[in-house]
């Protein structure tokens, strides 16, 4: 599951910076995701969240709905990024600053942050351990847009390098994996907070 909308009035790329909490709309999105899991009768038995505040807050409604604690795992955190704390576009945007251009030379790695292969490896390792950690039922992992999308591409055997404008990973969306003989496969994608996306600010994701 991806976290809900973040309170980000400056519209910066927040990355791993502390203090970026859910907005009021983001809290409603997280509630919508929890309600979706309840309504679908998902047998949630464990919840694991990124240590970042927005992920922990997004896990809260699920924890309350199922009467479970929230475990924290550093491996499903947002990737590092050279542009943390900066506005990317518009007047004074980081993309207009020549000093930042060396960080943009290799989008396939990418040169501005954690390599895509590193993100894939840590996410898939966490997913495998989550499966092994329970005898039955669902484990909900609350993470971030890029790590979730990298898992999608890795399982689909697509190139990890991609156009970030084309990611299918809405705020508070749920990407469902199932375990088969050879490992995890993606079986569903839902966007429980779809009705709340029109007014939402989704600027700031890595």
For the chain, the average pLDDT equals 95
Query: Domain containing 47: what range?
Result: 24-196
Within a domain: residue 108? yes
Smallest CA-to-CA distance from 37 within 63, 12, 75, 71 is with 63
Within a domain: residue 150? yes
Residues contacting residue 15 through CB under 8 Å, at least 6 positions apart? 78, 79, 80, 81, 83, 84, 85, 206
Within a domain: residue 201? no
Within a domain: residue 202? no
pTM above 0.85, yes or no: yes
pLDDT (tens digit, 9 = 90+) per residue, 156-170? 999 999 999 899 999
């Amino acid at each position: 599951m991806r976290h809900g909308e973040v309170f980000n009035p400056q519209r910066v790329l927040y990355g791993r910076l502390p203090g970026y909490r859910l907005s009021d709309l983001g809290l409603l999105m997280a509630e919508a995701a929890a309600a979706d899991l309840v309504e679908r009768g998902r047998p949630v038995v464990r919840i694991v969240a990124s240590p970042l505040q927005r992920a922990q807050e997004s896990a809260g409604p699920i924890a309350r709905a199922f009467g479970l604690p929230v475990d924290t795992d550093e491996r499903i955190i947002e990737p590092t990024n050279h542009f943390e704390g900066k506005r990317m576009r518009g007047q004074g945007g980081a993309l207009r600053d020549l000093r930042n251009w060396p960080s943009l030379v290799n989008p396939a790695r990418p040169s501005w942050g954690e390599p895509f292969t590193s993100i894939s490896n840590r996410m898939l390792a966490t997913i495998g351990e989550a499966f092994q950690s329970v005898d039955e039922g669902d484990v909900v992992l609350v993470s971030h847009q890029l790590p979730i999308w990298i898992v999608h591409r890795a399982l689909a055997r697509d190139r990890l390098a991609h156009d970030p404008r084309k990611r299918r990973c809405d705020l508070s969306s749920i990407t469902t994996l199932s375990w088969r003989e050879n490992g995890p496969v993606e079986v569903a994608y839902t966007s429980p907070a779809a009705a709340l996306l029109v007014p939402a600010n989704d600027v700031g994701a890595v």
